[in-house]
Chain A
Amino acid sequence: MDYFIQQLINGLSLGAIYGLIAIGYTMVYGIIGMINFAHGEIYMIGAFVALITFLAMGALGITWVPLALVVMLAASMLFTSVYGWAVERIAYRPLRSSPRLAPLISAIGMSIFLQNYMQLLQGARSKPLQPILPGNLTLMDGAVSVSYVRLATILITLVLMVGFTMLISRTSLGRAQRACEQDKKMAGLLGVNVDRIISLTFVMGAALAAVAGMMVLLIYGVIDFYIGFLAGVKSFTAAVLGGVGSLPGAMLGGVVIGLIEAFWSGYVGSEWKDVATFTLLVLVLIFRPTGLLGRPEIEKV
């Protein structure tokens, strides 16, 4: 039972990370119908910006942990969203009316580019970081110990989710975004600046991915330029699992995948956890092609 709860919390924190990345995929897919293949790389950039910010603060002599964390979070979100914006502006916007494959190839190219860009700039070796937030919370008479970082991840994700849901459902920006998702042309006719909304979608997705990147840095303490690929694929899996286009679905999908991974590693062995994830994806798509919370899509002639 203790072991179960331990794995449950590990899975939840991992799932929160996948969910944060998956939201970027799902929003972009919802609004312009493309797989933003470079999104995993955006998450990787987020992790690197967080690392560099921390090191830079260390060099400046700022060592007070709460301040460091807040600055890391802010810097990571800011700079990463600029990357998200630039990727959309350079690689996707000119291709908006092209055949469906063109943006996907462009995105794959962008992903390869960003990976190598990071490798050239920051080196190919993995970057270790000493724990910034050490310490554990012990529960159930010391049988279960949960690191503060994992708790913080879950909490921050919850807060972000609440805020994000409010943003989408209550503000005029969110309304415009949902309108674009339904019908870009009509939204444009009614005075919504579609280009701006799409850019903002990318910015929001990138900001959330940056949070995920920072959390991964804090939890695992090591990153490299290649982490984006697998995380990206799994998060897209999460988005598909939850139903592409649905925000709660993305979060749910992320949590499901996180839990599967944690329990699979905990009870079966960590080598095969990725196979378990992908098999789940195939099964879900076969039996419920629209995902868990997705709307059925009607093909029109």
Chain B
Amino acid sequence: MTMPSHTAPTPAPAAVPARPAVDWPGSLKDAATAAFVALLLTVPLVGLRTVDRPTGLSIEARPDEVIASIVLVFLGRLGLGLIRQGLALPVLVLALAAAAVGLALPMPTQVLRLVLVAGGGIIALRAAITLTTGRSKLSQAERDRRMDRVAAKVQHATKYIAPVAIAFAVALPLTPLADRQLLDIGILLLTYIMLGWGLNIVVGLAGLLDLGYVAFYAVGAYSYALLAHYFGLSFWVCLPLAGVLAACSGVLLGFPVLRLRGDYFAIVTLGFGEIIRIILVNWYQFTGGPNGISGIPRPSFFGIADFTRTPPEGMAAFHELFGLEFSPLHRIVFMYYLILALALVVNVFTLRVRKLPLGRAWEALREDEIASASLGINRTNMKLAAFAIAAMFGGFAGSFFATRQGFISPESFTFIESAIILAIVVLGGMGSQIGVVVATLLVIGLPEAFRELADYRMLAFGMGMVVIMLWRPRGLLAHRDPTILLHGGKTPRVNAGAAR
């Protein structure tokens, strides 16, 4: 590769005499330190792989990958250091060259190619930004202010974006584009949007960190599955019941733990989520254990018509009722509209409740618990309400999930699900409804689009969470305007929330 030219110290400073001299020994030392850390990190785990052999476990050395990662870390760190010292142009050229090499030449592994292209691309981007703005890096505060402005604009534009987005979502199944796969992805996205909006009530509005939201999702799903299995109840009877049961479990859990402080609360909700999952696994006489429940009945068209070609006794066929050609897609389209409606219910509820005393009490509690308690807000009741309502929505989503899948097992309700939903809320910007949508598209949509990279999906997911948090700790579209202002918002606005 062309990279070693970096290490030749003399020519470059002479080329740009106007700038202060580049601190070559310092940069090299810094890059070497980073490379040494990379060496320590990669030697045991990347360089030595365990291999299953018939005779037992054995080990295989992969020195090339260790060397590759060390070289990449060294060059990357050096490049960043040099950009900061005003050598953006040569670094840009070299980084682009590296990316091109990664694209064009054959590489021993795909990972190496990916790292080369991505790393070269990022450094080239960084260098390009430096060249255009003349500065290497915005300060954190400056970047925050910029992003806040963008977020505020997006929030204000929501008035116009939201109807368009909803119209698009409504029209989607009617367009010729809509095939089974697209609708399935749409249903998946909408399910997570609904869960995100539901959790947003607890995390975004009431400011309680819930790490076990998936428990209520599970309660809803199992409520429907078990009620249908043991009592033969239909989806439309079970949907409200599932919500009620989930809300009850929310109250049951919330009552003892809501007086705990932030992190303790988080860990208890996590524990509760695990307890529910363990119960589902172990109480196999009732819940089917790890095998789950299969053959969960599909929903009918509001109890009037069925989506099968030959409906059971006493039920009309959907396609006959509306005089349509039979198509298995009808059910999917119906499911799509169902979850869209459920999600919009959550959204409308959240938007309205913010204007009610209850919602204002939540926002007050989030901003300052002690102050609001001293102003006479009943902390426990308010939090309990938030918890129960969010749990109810989780329960709805859960019973939808059960009827869509037709099969559920405890596998679907692991901690990682809770983490994903929480990540959606926090990455989007806590309390921001549009943020949830954007974050869902990022967190769920992107990995769906790159299904081929299945193995690397969760890896990239974890890394993405870290990167977004580093880049924008308050979430992508965090922007807290008070919902209600005195004098109808005529007083000069202060971005009060932005200070947090």
Contact B469 A106 (CB under 8 A): yes
B464 interfacial by beta-carbon distance below 8 Å = yes
Q: Which residues of B contact A100 (CB under 8 A)?
A: 262
In the assembly, what is the distance between CA of A123 and CA of B274, in Å?
25
Contact with B along A105-124 (1 / 0, CB 8 A): 11011111111111011110
Q: How far is the CB of B469 from chain A (nearest CB, A)?
A: 4
Contact B470 A95 (CB under 8 A): yes
Q: Which residues of B contact A123 (CB under 8 A)?
A: 49-50, 52
Contact with A along B354-381 (1 / 0, CB 8 A): 0000000000000000110000000000
Which one of A99, A106, A240 lies within 8 Å of B465 (CB-CB)?
Answer: A106
A71 interfacial by beta-carbon distance below 8 Å = no
Main secondary structure of the interface of A (DSSP, over half): helix
* Number of B interface residues in the complex (CB < 8 A): 61
In the assembly, what is the distance between CA of A22 and CA of B268, in Å?
16
Which one of A98, A104, A115, A122 lies within 8 Å of B49 (CB-CB)?
Answer: A122
Q: Which residues of A contact B56 (CB under 8 A)?
A: 128, 130
In the assembly, what is the distance between CA of A49 and CA of B59, in Å?
12
Contact A282 B268 (CB under 8 A): yes
Contact with A along B52-66 (1 / 0, CB 8 A): 100011110000000
Q: Which residues of B contact A233 (CB under 8 A)?
A: 267, 270-271, 274
Contact A101 B462 (CB under 8 A): no
Contact A98 B58 (CB under 8 A): no
B165 interfacial by beta-carbon distance below 8 Å = no
* Number of A interface residues in the complex (CB < 8 A): 72
Contact A289 B466 (CB under 8 A): no
Q: How far is the CB of A240 from chain B (nearest CB, A)?
A: 6
In the assembly, what is the distance between CA of A82 and CA of B262, in Å?
30
Contact B456 A120 (CB under 8 A): yes
Q: How far is the CB of B39 from chain A (nearest CB, A)?
A: 9
CB-CB under 8 A for A116 and B426, given A79-B40, A99-B473: no
Query: Which of A160-168, A178-186, A190-198, A269-277 is the interface stretch?
Result: A269-277
A55 interfacial by beta-carbon distance below 8 Å = yes
Which one of A34, A83, A121, A127 lies within 8 Å of B46 (CB-CB)?
Answer: A121
In the assembly, what is the distance between CA of A48 and CA of B282, in Å?
29
CB-CB under 8 A for A281 and B268, given A95-B470, A102-B473, A104-B209: yes
Q: Which residues of A contact B419 (CB under 8 A)?
A: 108, 112
A86 interfacial by beta-carbon distance below 8 Å = yes
Which one of A103, A113, A240 lies within 8 Å of B267 (CB-CB)?
Answer: A240
Q: Which residues of A contact B279 (CB under 8 A)?
A: 275
Contact A105 B422 (CB under 8 A): yes
A138 interfacial by beta-carbon distance below 8 Å = no
A170 interfacial by beta-carbon distance below 8 Å = no
Contact A282 B256 (CB under 8 A): yes
Mind listing 17 A-B residue pairs with CB under 8 Å? A52-B48, A55-B57, A75-B44, A79-B44, A82-B37, A82-B40, A91-B469, A101-B430, A103-B469, A106-B466, A109-B462, A113-B466, A117-B45, A233-B270, A275-B279, A279-B275, A285-B257
- Residues of chain B touching chain A, judged by Cβ–Cβ distance below 8 Å, are 37, 40-41, 43-46, 48-50, 52, 56-59, 203, 209, 256-257, 259-264, 266-268, 270-272, 274-275, 278-279, 282, 370-371, 415-416, 419, 422-423, 426-427, 430, 455-456, 458-459, 461-466, 469-470, 473-474, 500
